[in-house]
Structure 1
Amino acid sequence: DPAEAIERALWGAPQAIWGGEVVTNFAIDARLAKRLHANDARAERYGSSHWMLDLVLAPDFDEAAVAVLGRRPMRKLLANPALRAPAPSSAEHWRMIRGGWLSQPAADYVLDLAASRMAPGVLTQVQVLALCIAWAAAFGSSLGGNEIAIAHDGALLAAGGGPSTVEAARIALDRCMARGHDCRGAVFAADAFFPFDDVPAMLAEAGVAAGCAPTGSVNDAAVAAGLAERGVAMAWLPPEIRGFCRH
């Protein structure tokens, strides 16, 4: 449901979204525009009901939606019909480096649980949806590398990155706590394999129920055994899959 998707996205980080940008793959009508404009519950917690979004990008806006969202003078509304069926680019990616250029394949991998090794147990549909959200956040490597993303019940709770996976996980967990989110029953996604059991132990202690991560570490078996003992269901991705596309 589009209205529910908007609510869960905005409440994932209700302070960080202030002055932020929202992109949807569905058209915005008056009902959805009101959700994007303000929320009374936000006023109770943060002193203002307005989300203060600076940009909303969607396939289309009807006139009533423009009237609602246009109340913020500097807000930009951009319509692009192609967003109704977005698809990742398969073009080769180039980036400038000192003295030349670096080429790498497009970061177009879509989480495929059928091609993953599942252990232990079977994920619920709610967990699968959350896992897709967490992987999408971690896979983009937009937070500095070693991303850990945590999602629950159709919403991204937090994501973190940093010089090490330990720091990335700590940031993600700290952000969950600061935002009032409970990690119990949540799922996580890591953008690369776990070389040690430290981060899996942190996540399990926080209460996560499932996760996904690439494989390829010499300690894969020990890490997998530790998570299984803690009752964390895992989707182990093929070793050729890596999320750190910006390294």
Structure 2
Amino acid sequence: MSDPQIKRVLMSVTDKTGVVEFARALSEEFGAEIISTGGTARAIAEAGVPVTPIDEVTNFPEMMDGRVKTLHPMVHGGLLAKRDNADHMAQAAEHGIGMIDMVVVNLYAFEKTVAGGADFATCIENIDIGGPSMLRSAAKNFESVAVVTDPASYDAILAEMRANNGATTRETRAKLALRVFQTTNAYDGAIAAWMGAQLGEAAESAAGDAARDDKFPAARALGLTKAQDLRYGENPHQSAAFYRRDDYAGAEHSLAHATQHQGKEMSYNNYLDVDAAWAAVREYDNPACVIVKHLTPCGVCEDGDLVAAYQRAHACDPVSAYGGVMAFNRPVTSDVVVAIFENKQFVEAIIAPEFAADALEMYSAKKNARLLSTGGVNPAGGEVEYRSVEGGLLCQDSDAVHEDPASFTVPTKRQPSDEELAELLFAWKACKSVKSNAILISKDHATVGVGGGQPNRVNSARIAVEQAGEKAQGAVAASDAFFPFRDGFDVLAQAGVTAVIQPGGSIRDEEVIAAADEQGIAMVFTGHRHFRH
């Protein structure tokens, strides 16, 4: 079957960007009849482009506040009829159904309505029915019908029609159809996620597992929109892309929606490292800097001054910091940039709520450095995170340190001083971001030794102590999970650590407590672990 010329077009769009110009070109250049609905028809008519209202096609008025207008055989028969099927065409002729060669539809802005905080009834009214139905009918019959959902496609469609005697090619129609099913899948997923949240909130008082059912429903549709193709994945032989989650409630200040001010395109590994740094720095209320290399924090500091926080985070491990990524929980000023330049530190990327204009100007000389601003800082935790395995997806609540220090217990004879307890709380937050088994040593609210990603805890302790060196004297340590034996604890004690924070809960807790008492070390049990596999 040859490519059909576009002679009859149905338009109904929420996003009216470019629709008048598109309609004018279809009408004037190709003689296409434009059929349209509601506000779209008014916009086209007011621009002087001939338009046929939908009720003249259906011989039935738009009704019920516009809920019913395109759900009609005159519309869907014209979309679904197979042009090369004699029976289909005979039935269409019998009932006076004209063929529709192109559908131009984008959907009610449901996600935008929800994000704007609209009430329940308004959100319900913004669930599109006729739009998805027309899109699906047209996409199913892509052999004969072109279906356009994105205003950005208008110019390319017109160019193809000009080069193809007023027709689109089958390859283009097939790609447009695929885009329809991707769009309607994401749209339905957003509605399902919102409805699940609404019903979960309503049922929470009646059913103890309502919140769990809301987060982890029996079926989950993920809406993902490709943000960019990446040069490659973890290694050059792996192809890769980055997608944004359409249902992410914290999108406003997230990495996925950050503004990149300069630098090369983000790579696969850049995204992983920047995400790890951004998640870590959000744990702190005071100005903080986190430096990450290969998903491992190599410098973390919280200070009253952001420049000092950077300098002390960098001092933790200057060798590893070179070529890493950095995150700040406060706007980056020119003073911070001066400190980075003075250290001659090369960074792959920096993420922060914002950058001062003079800071951006100073960094413009470093063309390869990626600078990303989020516009703000979302609180740590509170979202569902995903991790893929072969053939499946793991979902869990994102982890954050929300424990109340008043709930901690001290099983040792020596109690931590107020100063030690404040330092332990810093170490506990910092340790959460280190791969397990994680041991972290800190002093004056800055990391001095980090050991993690080891198959046993004692080796992590040795790595942290070796890195800390003499700085371990008088420092404190955090362990993300309990000590299964006293050997790892003894490594820290022998290095001069004065206090340790850990979850507790081992069958050998008494053995570790005894080791602490032998060496006069204070130990705090949190009752919670922050294992990062």
Q: TM-score range by the shorter chain?
A: 0.7 to 0.9
d(CA) in 2 for partners of 1:147, 1:155: 16
Q: TM-score, normalised by structure 2?
A: 0.40
Question: 1:146 Cα deviation (Å)?
Answer: 1.2
Distance 1:98 1:76, change over 3 A: closer
Equivalence for 2:365: 71
Amino acid at match of 1:235: V
Which of 199, 212, 224 lines up with 2:501 in the alignment?
A: 212
Equivalence for 1:153: 444
Equivalent runs, 1:2-151 vs 2, <5 Å: 2-39=306-343, 50-83=344-377, 86-118=378-410, 119=412, 120-125=414-419, 127-142=420-435, 145-151=436-442
Equivalence for 2:456: 164
d(CA) in 1 for partners of 2:356, 2:397: 38
d(CA) in 2 for partners of 1:211, 1:16: 25
Aligned length: 226
Question: 1:217 Cα deviation (Å)?
Answer: 0.9
User: Which SS does the other structure have where 2:474 is aligned?
Assistant: coil
Q: Which has the higher contact order (CA 8 A, sep 6+)?
A: 1
d(CA) in 1 for partners of 2:385, 2:439: 23
Question: 1:176 Cα deviation (Å)?
Answer: 2.1
User: Which SS does the other structure have where 1:95 is aligned?
Assistant: strand
Distance 1:98 1:55, change over 3 A: closer
Deviates more, 1:168-177 or 1:183-192: 168-177
Q: Give the helix-richer structure, 1 or 2.
A: 2
User: Which SS does the other structure have where 1:167 is aligned?
Assistant: helix
Judge conservation of contact 2:316–2:449 (CA < 8 Å) in 1.
yes
d(CA) in 1 for partners of 2:425, 2:375: 24
Distance 1:104 1:62, change over 3 A: closer
Judge conservation of contact 2:354–2:376 (CA < 8 Å) in 1.
no
Judge conservation of contact 1:130–1:156 (CA < 8 Å) in 2.
no
Question: 1:111 Cα deviation (Å)?
Answer: 4.6
d(CA) in 2 for partners of 1:59, 1:92: 22
d(CA) in 2 for partners of 1:244, 1:203: 19
Question: 1:97 Cα deviation (Å)?
Answer: 2.7
Judge conservation of contact 1:211–1:234 (CA < 8 Å) in 2.
yes
| Unpaired segments ≥5 residues, structure 2 | 1-304
Equivalence for 1:46: none
User: Which SS does the other structure have where 1:54 is aligned?
Assistant: strand
Cα distance per residue 1:146-168 (max 9 Å; x no partner) = 11111111211121120000111
d(CA) in 1 for partners of 2:335, 2:396: 42
d(CA) in 2 for partners of 1:186, 1:220: 22
Judge conservation of contact 1:54–1:74 (CA < 8 Å) in 2.
yes
Judge conservation of contact 1:141–1:243 (CA < 8 Å) in 2.
no
Cα distance per residue 1:168-210 (max 9 Å; x no partner) = 1111112223xxx520011111011112111111100000011
Distance 1:60 1:213, change over 3 A: same
Distance 1:33 1:107, change over 3 A: same
d(CA) in 2 for partners of 1:169, 1:122: 21
Deviates more, 1:220-229 or 1:201-210: 220-229
User: Which SS does the other structure have where 2:465 is aligned?
Assistant: helix
Equivalence for 2:489: 200
d(CA) in 1 for partners of 2:460, 2:520: 22
Larger radius of gyration: 2
Amino acid at match of 1:243: H
Root-mean-square deviation (CA, aligned residues, Å) is 1.9
Judge conservation of contact 2:459–2:488 (CA < 8 Å) in 1.
no
